[in-house]
Structures are given as structure tokens and as C-alpha cells.
Structure 1
Amino acid sequence: MKYTAEQIKQISRSDPDTIASFITMLLVHIKKLEARVSELERQLGSNSSNSSKPPSSDGLRKPRSMRPSGGKKGAPRGHDGHTFVLTPHPDEIIRHEVKTCSHCSALLQDIPAQSHTRRQVVDLPLPRLFVTEHQVEMKMCPCCGVKQQSVFPEGVTASVQYGEGWKAWTAYLSVNHCLPLERIAQLFEDLSGHRPSEATLLSHIHRVFEHLEPLEKDIRQRLKQSDLLHADETGLRIEGRLQWLHTATNAEWTAYDVHEKRGKKAFEAMGMLPTYTGILVHDCWASYFSGDYRFEHALCGAHLLRECQGIIDYDKHRWATEMQALLREAWTLTKKVREEGRCVTSTILADLESRYDVILEQGVHEWKSPEPDPSKKRGPKAKSKAANLAERLRLHKPAVLRFLRDERVPFDNSQAERDIRMVKVKQKVSGTFRTPEGAHRFARMWLYLHSS
């Protein structure tokens, strides 16, 4: 909307109704611009501390430390530590003899020592190639004259080949340390003087992948039978296109799946959630609430706290501040009673749940959108972030507060988030998986490395 100076002068000389109409139009336009600026500021300022965005999206922004300032440096109180201790069986002992007396220069080689003081140096041995030669015998039977020959061990099929150690190290470096094939080859060459080709390394990874199939099936079965699972998903680029890595995990076992979809189709392909009947901790992704599923829900409190922080930062809503404080208070109380081996009493439960309801009821005037103007264009009006969050808290109250009633349920979904974090590191290193098969190989080997 643009007006020249001459047009504005003409309007100013018009009748009061025209001037009032012009000013009203300007105010409406200004209000739209303010809303647009506010939304852009929200998008620009959103990070992992006040929204559901992952930490990897924060870029070079300096993260805010979760530790209180000051205090003792080093490991936190209660940390076991990893201090070296003297081993009773060293691999090598070097005795440093006293040969002469520093006072009178007398020879002391033949004088027995009265005591020893020990110090040990722990070091890594220099790596080298270890070659095992297998020889099969051939004999002639003296009774019947038939030649007999022993057999090579299973897997020994070529005149010269790589052993199982090469395959295990290749898979470990590629998956757990996210090294590209070229750097793995360079590392082997630096350590042993021998550089395998990238095709050889890929074949090693594929053999490990095939070997782990029975283990993966066993882990999935154990997860299905567990009382509580964490679930999450993250974007993964394969052949330059966005796909999704899904995880279902608990404190002992982890399963991964790669699928082109994020929602229900992926869950069905994974084959775990459709038959699961325990408690699932997740971040309120709508697909988890399908009516076909029989598991109970527990929502991640950390996600809710961050979303409340976003409402506090940009909308200045009081109800979000109060809800954030209530959730933190509830979890602090729950942790305390769990450490004491008790449960939250029914009186405290009723009080917390009542305060939860009151906060949402009193916050309606802040988050509820005004009634649409009937003279304007019809159609559904987009809800604000505050309205969406408040309605989610109201609709899923039992899932939000389940940690109060069930000691198995944690406050957040950190277990699943930790288990998929390194996948983002792998993608940063590689940029994209070149084939879907490579992504599935990575997922299965990561499953093995991060299950007990």
C-alpha cells in the first residue's frame, strides 16, 4: 500500500468520514505489519531453549550452560572418576638398580635391596599386522591308499584375506565415530602400513550388517515386551532427499528404522508400535495418537517447558510462566519422593492437578483468539502458538502428568533424543547417505553399538 504526498494532502482536505476511513485502514495495515514483524522475530529468535527445535539448529550461537556459576571445578559430586590404579600384574618390569653409594662411592651391585618403590606407565603398543597362516594336511591312508585332507576353518576361503578384526574395526569407526571411508583407509595405512580400498571397507560393513540380523530381531522382541518405551524421529538425507530415522528405545535396548515417511506408515513398517501395549514416552507428534494403537501416552516435559519459554519470550503470557513453574515444581517433588522410596500422595496429586486446571482456565483470555469478524472472508483462522500449546495441555493432561502417578515414567524424552543425536553428527560428516541400503546398514549397526 503506497500513497504519494499529493494523495495524502487530498485526503487531509476531504470530509471527516473519509479521513476517519483512511486512518482506520492505516491502523489495520499497521496491525498486520506488527503481527508479521512479531512472527519474524519469533522465528529468528527460536532455538533449542524456547522451542522444539533441536540443538543442532542453534548454529554458532553460544549455548547457555546448565551448570550454576561458581563452585568447585572438575567432575560433579558423586562422580566415580577414572583414576589409574597400580595393576598387580604388569606386562613388563624394569628394575633400576642402585650401583654405587652417593656418599662414599662404594659398589652396591651385590647388596640385596631392602624395599622397592613402584611406578607404572600405561601405554598403547605399536600396532602391526598379525598374520595367521592356516595349513591343511594331506595324508595317504596306508590301509586303502586313499588320500585324505583336513579342511580350512569356516570363513577362510581365499589364499590371502582380511580377518574378523578388520571388519569389526571398519564398522566401529564408520558407525560409532562417523569416519568417512577414505579416512578409515588412511587410518589403517598410518597404523599398519597397509591401505584397504574403499570397496573392501564397504564389503566389511555389509558383512557385519548381515551378521547382526538375528540380534536385531531379538532386540526388537525385547522392546515390544518392555513396560516403557521412548520414541522419537529425526530427518535424514538419503540420495539428497529428506527421509526419517525412527527410534524406539529404553534403558537397555534400542531399535532404529529408516523410512521415507514420518508418521503412521513408518510406524507400521517398523512393526513395533502397532502391537505395543506398554507406556510410550514421546513429544506429542500427532501420529502417535492414532486410535489403532493400544499403548498409553506420556508426553515429554522438556518439550513443554521449552514451548512455554517461547510463549514467555514473545507473547509475555502469564499463564505460560505459571505452567512452566508448576511442571518444574511437580518434577522436583517427584524426584525427591522417588529417592526416598515413596510415591506422591493423593493430596499433593489433587492439588497439583487442580492448579494445572486453574492455570489453563485463567489463561484463556491471554491465549484465546478473538472471535472472527463475520464481515471478513470466511474460513478457519490459524491458531497462535500459545493457543495450540494450551489446548494440547488441556487435551493431554493425563499424559503430561503421568510421571506423577507412575514411577516408571520419566519427566522427559531424553533417552530417545540421546540415542538419535549422533546420527546428526554422521550426517554432518557425510552430508547425505548415498543409498538407502547404506542408511539401513548404519541403522542396524548403530542399534548393536547402543544396546546393552
Structure 2
Amino acid sequence: MKLTPQQVNTICKGDQEIAGYFHELLTVVDRQSKQIEKLEKRVNELERQLGQNSNNSSKPPSSDGLRKPTNLRQSGGKKGAPKGHDGYTLRSVDSPDEIVFHQVTTCTSCSHSLETVTVEGYEKRQIFDLPPPCVRVTEHRIEKKCCPYCGLEQKATFPADIQAPTQYGEGFAAWTAYLHAYQMLPLKRIAQLFADLTTYRPSEATLLSLLQTMSRSLESVEQTIRSALFRKATVNVDETGCRIAGKNHWVHVVSNEHWTLLGAHQKRGSQAMDELGFLPFYLGTVVHDCLPAYFKDFYYFGHALCNAHLLRECQGIAEHDGHAWAKQMKELLQESWKLTQAARRDRRPLAAAILDKASKRYDDILERGKDEWANDAVRAKAGPRGREIKSKAANLGERLKVHKASILRFLWNADIPFDNNQAERDLRMVKVKQKVSGAFRTFAGAKVFVRTRSVISTLLKQDQPVLASLVNAFRGHPILG
């Protein structure tokens, strides 16, 4: 409580000298109090940052280091392979490529010779092995003839894809794309692998040329993927940072459980989304993580928010700030998803009473939460301009209130997933590529990778053979229906 000058004079019994010292002391105390409050808010923010991990924030699991964070997944799930799974047991074949006979020549009991005794049967065991790889060289020859009428020399033409005296073929192109965008190997290691297997070592420039040729072959396949996603009622979208040509760029994804469409761009927002050629024309529901760019007025799709992100944020606020409302909201979302899963397994909608109860409980939790986040320490504004600074809990509470319908949409729409993990899984290989191979040297190279990766990811989702499909695409054959 701040003392008035009259109160100070009363305490000092009218002694002005003592009152002057008292005023100076109060000024110092007031200044220190403000500094302490400022430092407490700063310490609170730093402690929050220090305590963040992949379970209570949007930080990736790779940033957790050697710590083992608390697992938020619910126990009691199914274990092992799904029912009816064929497994991967190595089974013998009826027609082996080679048969090696091992003779029994002597009786182990009496040492009698068995060389002339008739064989009564065989016991067999089979070895599955890879033969040494070899390069098959095909020579193309065009005929030359002299016209007997005019004497002009004539010759046939080479196929359009044969443009040099010697060149690598479709197998090398498919393998290069496979190793580059599926096994995530850098060009130097791809060249070394070819040298180890075949004694032929393509240069990095040759490998880049093969990748560009393969990318052009996959252009129509990419359009097939885009068209297929347009027909889906729900898609997942996300974006991740990517180093290209020494600068930070972004890789965007639109996907579902059967199709993947990736695109690279210098920016993260709506300009990048527009150039991917999907969201401006899509009219279904988009599952995303509440990036403001998805809420632009010129987009006409519906919204569903990723609840996995919200669970992590609630966990962080419950851990750091001790807010009861955040824990209650996390429990509500988890319980609601359990009820939804059970209803979807039984192919039935949730009862109206359950929906009403969940909606009312949602509102009640946020109403009680206002009292808790109103007392949060908030750092001071750096200047007079800009919006009022709110605490993490207040910002989350506001987002939960504004986007309630998009957050709870999974309750009444069976096409809506609980989270956006599908898109995150489809982007994860971009980060793996960076960790294994490093940053992309050029933007053109990144475009080649994301197109090839889009096709490979789609092939994997649809249980199609990757390498054989790439060969067929290089030959101009359709590989996705």
C-alpha cells in the first residue's frame, strides 16, 4: 500500500528531515518492487520455456534430448499385429532356382557303404540370397542406307529418350529417385552405392539430371493425386520449415490416409497455400493446427482443429501454471474422443444428450478458467502499440472459445479425425531427409524432392511397389488409378 504525504508526516511526527528520508526510501522500495515484479514475470516465462517438451508444447520429440517425457497416450490399447495380418515369415518355394544334393555315403552305426543304396526321400532346406548385381548394356543401332534413285544417304532415327552415345537408363533413374526420396540418401552416397554394386559411378550432375527427368515423368501423377484429394470430404494440412539454398523455406502438405501432396515455397502463409493449387478451390473440411492463414476470407472450406495440439498446450499450462481448468479440458477432450471411437466402431452417431453434455461442460470449464488466467503473470508491453499482452492460458482459453465448433467437430462428423497427425507423419520424412542429407542446395532440387516424395508416400499408403512403379512412371505408364 502506498503512503500519502500526510500519512508520512504523521508517522514522522512532523519532522521534515526524517520525512524527506522516508520519502526517498519509499521511492526506492517502489522502484525495486516494480523491478522485482518485472523479473518475476521474466523468470516465469523462462521457466515455462525450460520446461517445454514434446508433450506439453508444439516442440518436436527430437528436441527432448535424452529426457523421457511423460507419455500422454492412454493405456489399454491393442498390442501386436492386427487380426488377419499375414506376417512376414520366410516361406519355402516350390520351384527353386538351383538344387544342391548332399549325399549320405556311409552308415554312422556300422560304417557300411551306402553309395549304391536307393534314395528313399529327401529333407530340404532353402537359402534365399541376392545374386551379385550387374549392369545390362543395350546397344541401339540405326541403319544407314543409300538411296539407289537419288544417291542420298538415309538413316533411321534413335528413340527420343536416347540422346547421347552412352547414357544411363530407366533403371538407374528409378533407383536414384528411390534412394533419394525414400531412403533419403545424399547424392554422394547414392553414387558410392552404385559403384559398390555395379562398378559404375555416375557423377552427381548425372544423378541430378536423372532426378529431374524422373520428376518430369511424375508431373501427371502429381496431378492425379491433387484431383483425388479434391474429391475427399476431409483433408489434413500442415507445414514445416526447411533449409533451401541457405535460407528458411516451408514445405506444405495436403493429405489423407491414401494420398499425399507436398509443395515447397519461400513463405508459410496463404501465398504458399495458393501456389500449391489446392486450398483456394477446395470446399470440404480441412484439419489444421489453427494457423491464422487458414482462416482467410477468400477460402471457403470448413475447419477442424487438431486436438493433439490442444492437449499438449493444456498439459503445459496444468504443469507450469497449475490451472485446474486446463487439466479438466484435457480430460474432457480425451473422454469425448473415447466415446467417439466407440460409436464409430459400432457405426452409430453419438446420442444428442452426450453431445449437449460435452458442449455444456466445455463452456463451464472455460467460464471457470477465466478466474484462473486472470491472475497470471504477464510480461509488460514493449511499447504503446499493438494488442494487449495475455498469458499463455488466456490465449489458449480465447482460442478454445472462438473455435469451439471446429474443435468439437469430430463429435458429430465421422469423417473428422481427432488430430492432425496424418499430415505431421507425411511431413516427418522432410525432416529426416534434412538430417540425413543436409539442406537442399537449390529450390529446383527441393521441388524435385517434394514431387517425388508425394508419389512415393502415396504408393506406400496404397501398398504399391515403389521401385517398380517408378520404372513404369519413367516409361510413361499410369501408376495410380
Q: Does 1:204 align with 2:210?
A: yes
Structure 1 residue aligned with 2:313? 307
Distance 1:71 1:324 in 2: 19
The corresponding residue for 1:32 is: 38
Equivalent in the alignment of 1:106: 112
Distance 2:77 2:408 in 1: 34
Give the C-alpha shift of residue 88 in structure 1: 2.4
Q: How far is 1:118 from its partner?
A: 2.4
The verdict on how the C-alpha distance between 1:252 and 1:370 changes in structure 2, with shifts beyond 3 A counting, is closer
Alignment partners' CA distance in 2, 1:87 and 1:384 = 66
* C-alpha displacement of 1:413: 0.5
21-30 vs 134-143, greater mean Cα deviation: 134-143
Shift of residue 443, structure 1, vs aligned partner: 0.9
**Residue 327 of structure 2 is aligned to residue 321 of structure 1:** yes
Give the TM-score of the pair, scaled to structure 2.
0.83
Shift in Å, 1:153: 4.4
3-state SS, counterpart of residue 235 of structure 2: strand
Q: Which whole-Å CA distance do the structure 1 matches of 2:144 and 2:115 have between them?
A: 57
What is the number of equivalent residue pairs in this alignment? 438
| Residue number in structure 2 paired with 1:449 | 456
- Say if 2:346 is the partner of 1:336: no
Question: Please, which of 404, 418, 433 is the counterpart of residue 397 of structure 1?
Answer: 404
Q: Is the 8 A contact 1:229 1:249 kept in 2?
A: yes
> Hey, what's the Cα distance between the residues in 2 that align with 1:405 and 1:37?
43
2:447 to 432, 440, 443: 440
Give the superposition deviation at 1:106.
Answer: 3.2
Partners of 1:71 and 1:220 in 2: how far apart? 34
Asked if structure 1 preserves the Cα contact closer than 8 Å seen for 2:377 and 2:391, the reply is no
- Identity score, percent: 50
Paired AA for residue 347 in structure 1 = A
Alignment match of 1:259 (pick from 262, 265, 277): 265
For residue 436 of structure 2, the aligned residue among 408, 429, 444 is 429
Offset of 1:114 from its aligned partner?
2.9
Q: 1:244 aligned to 2:260?
A: no
CA–CA distance in structure 2, aligned partners of residues 135 and 174 of structure 1: 33
**Cα offset, 1:20, TM superposition:** 4.1
Give, in angstroms, the shift of residue 175 of structure 1: 1.6
The CA RMSD over aligned residues, in Å, is 3.1
SS at match of 1:231: strand
1:162 aligned residue: 168
| 1:159, distance to aligned residue in structure 2 (A) | 3.1
When normalised by structure 1's length, the TM-score is 0.88
Equivalent position to 1:216, from 222, 245, 250: 222
In the alignment, the residues of structure 2 paired with residue 387 and residue 341 of structure 1 have an alpha-carbon distance, to the nearest angstrom, of 38
SS class of match (1:107): coil
Question: Which amino acid is 2:199 matched to?
Answer: G
- Deviation by residue 1:264-299 (Cα, 9 ceiling, x = unmatched): 111111121011001100001011111211111111
Aligned mates of 2:73, 2:337 — CA distance in 1: 18
**Post-superposition offset of 1:195:** 1.2
* Aligned residue number for residue 56 of structure 1: 62
Aligned to 2:331, the other structure's residue is in SS state: helix
Q: Is the 8 A contact 1:369 1:384 kept in 2?
A: no
Given residue 251 of structure 1, which amino acid in structure 2 is its aligned partner?
A: E
1:383 and 2:387 equivalent? no
Matches within 5 A, 1:220-231: 220-231=226-237
Q: Deviation of residue 45 (structure 1)? A: 2.0
How many angstroms apart in 2 are the aligned matches of 1:298 and 1:422? 24
Cα distance in structure 2, aligned partners of 1:65 and 1:236: 28
CA distance in 2, matches of 1:247, 1:170: 23
Whether the 8 Å contact between 2:41 and 2:377 is mirrored in structure 1 is: no
Asked if 1:358 is matched to 2:371, the reply is no
Conserved? CA contact 2:55–2:72, under 8 Å = no
Q: 1:293 aligns with which of 264, 286, 299?
A: 299
1-structure distance, mates of 2:301, 2:255:
15
Contact kept? 1:12, 1:19, Cα under 8 Å: no
- Letter of the 2:398 partner, please give it: E
Distance change (3 Å), C-alpha of 1:319 and 1:200: same
**Which deviates more from structure 2 when the two are superposed, residues 324-333 or residues 116-125?**
116-125
- Matched with 1:176 is 182
Partner of 1:7: none
| 1:6 matched residue in structure 2 | none
Say which SS state the counterpart of residue 246 (structure 1) adopts.
Answer: strand
Runs of 5+ unmatched residues, structure 2: 1-16, 460-481
- Is 2:136 the partner of 1:130? yes
How far apart, CA to CA, are the structure 2 residues paired with 1:175 and 1:82? 25
Structure 1's 66 and 327: CA in aligned 2 closer, same or farther, altered over 3 A?
closer
Please say if residues 426 and 457 of structure 2, whose CA atoms lie closer than 8 Å, have aligned partners that are also in contact.
yes
Deviations 1:121-166 (A, max 9, x none): 2222211222223345567999999988665445234332211111
| Letter paired with 1:406 | N
Provide the rounded CA distance (Å) in 2 between the counterparts of 1:135 and 1:110. Answer: 57
Give the 3 Å change call, closer, same or farther, for CA 355–80 of structure 1 in structure 2: farther
